Amino acid sequence: MAGSGEAIPRIYLDNAATTPLDPQVRAAMLAALDACAGNASAMHAPGRRARERIEAARADVAALIRAPADSIVFTSGATESDNLAILGGARGNRARGRHLVSLRTEHRAVLDACQALEREGFAVTLLVPGPDGLLDPAALAAALTPKTTLVSVMLVNNETGVVQDIAALAAVCRARGVLVHVDAAQAAGRVPIDVGALDVDLISLSAHKVHGPVGVGALYVRRTPRPTLEPLQYGGGQEGGLRSGSLAAHQIAGMGEAFRLATADGERESARLQGLAERLWTLLEGLGGVHLNGHRTRRAPHIVNVSFEGVDGEALLLELEGLIVASGAACSAESGEPSYVLRALGRPDALAQASLRFSLGRFSTAADVEAAATRVRAGLTRLRGLAPP
């Protein structure tokens, strides 16, 4: 482990867990706090100003995914959006059937929502993708039954960065009249999202994965044909009756600004991140005994997930003082278990346990990548020297 003399510069490469707040987003939130003193549901002037900020943000969020503004429902984050889509969609369509399909590699917000539905008497089929992380549309088609009402598949996997062919999967569902939900929290601002081209019904989005604030997200709900959703909470009927509760104008303004920035700079930023990720993988691959997890090319530009032979994952993390990366997903890191996503892809426990996820963001630099690889090399060399494979 590195010495404890002078402070070691911190390198933040855990942007898939959360991204640092962009200064322009912070400014937009402060402006909204100053200007929006009223409840957005009220008819007086302060209330109207809050409503105007919210509707402007709604348009900005919609623009990133090429959707109409009135298809955006604000929530507290992608977890709530996933729950509203899955629980609300399943319950709202239970008269047609009580069967859902998803993947074993989905986010816990999806898997746990499916598990909750099983306790209510629904049947859930969890498919296993190929070793590259991709789901074969034929496998999805084989899993559908006359009772299937909803399929949930993530666009960009939060651990591996693998990008699913959502349009092909949605086509399978559309032919059978099955609703399609997509968790796009890791995709927004990193890969293009066009709701028309994807042809899906529901899309979950998060602000804090795109340099926006924690605590706000959105659910895209297709307008025509509009899926039937049962709300999870009741009250004042805000957000078209799907998400009652007073809207936090400053949080929503922050999300709108974050998505506006992502729309304006998305193509150039994605290319920059792709270059950084490829350089990082080249440096790590050269260390030997290093495996890239997930498909080599069908992946988001900001995630590099690798497994290291011959070392203990926890010991390697301790070696990387000052390098902020993840071992598995942030939502399940406390379990101490090998990544269920990597195990589903066929990685043995030893390699799944010795895996790190490097994730880049707007403030990541080439110098960060070079320094990160240097620290990994030093830690790996020391550990392999202590206990050769």
pLDDT more than 70, % of the chain: 94
pLDDT of amino acid 327: 85
Amino acid 334: pLDDT: 54
Of the candidates 147, 145, 140, 149, the one whose C-alpha atom is nearest the C-alpha of residue 170 is 140
- pLDDT for 332 equals 46
Alpha-carbon gap, residue 343 to 348, rounded angstroms: 6
357: CATH: 3.90.1150.10
Could you say which of 36, 114, 173, 331 is catalytic? Answer: 331
The CATH number given to whatever domain includes residue 46 is 3.40.640.10
Q: Which residues neighbour 335 within 8 Å (Cβ) at sequence distance 6 or greater?
A: none
pLDDT number for residue 338: 85
38 has a pLDDT exceeding 80 = no
Q: Which domain holds residue 316?
A: 11-21+266-386
Quickly state the pLDDT bin for 328 (edges 50, 70, 90): low
Mean pLDDT check: name the lowest of 169-183, 199-213, 230-244.
230-244
Write out pLDDT tens, residues 112-140. Answer: 999 999 999 999 999 999 999 999 999 99
Domain boundary among 261, 281, 308: 261
Residue 22 banded pLDDT, cuts 50, 70, 90: very high
331 is catalytic: yes
pLDDT value of residue 385? 87
pLDDT (0 to 100) of residue 112: 98
Q: What is residue 152's three-state secondary structure?
A: strand
In a domain, 6, yes or no: no
8 Å CB contact between 308 and 380: yes
Q: Same structural domain for residues 244 and 372?
A: no
How far, CA to CA in Å, does 217 sit from each of 76, 150, 253? 5, 21, 11
Q: Are residues 199 and 319 in the same domain?
A: no
Q: What's the whole-number average pLDDT of the chain?
A: 93
Checking if the pLDDT of 335 tops 60, the result is no
Number of compact structural domains in the chain: 2
Angle of the 249-285 helix axis to the 366-386 helix axis, nearest 10: 50
Pair (189, 333) in one structural domain: no
Helix axes 78-92, 108-119, angle to 10 degrees: 30
Retrieve residue 158's tokens: 């939060």
* The predicted structure's pLDDT at residue 219: 98
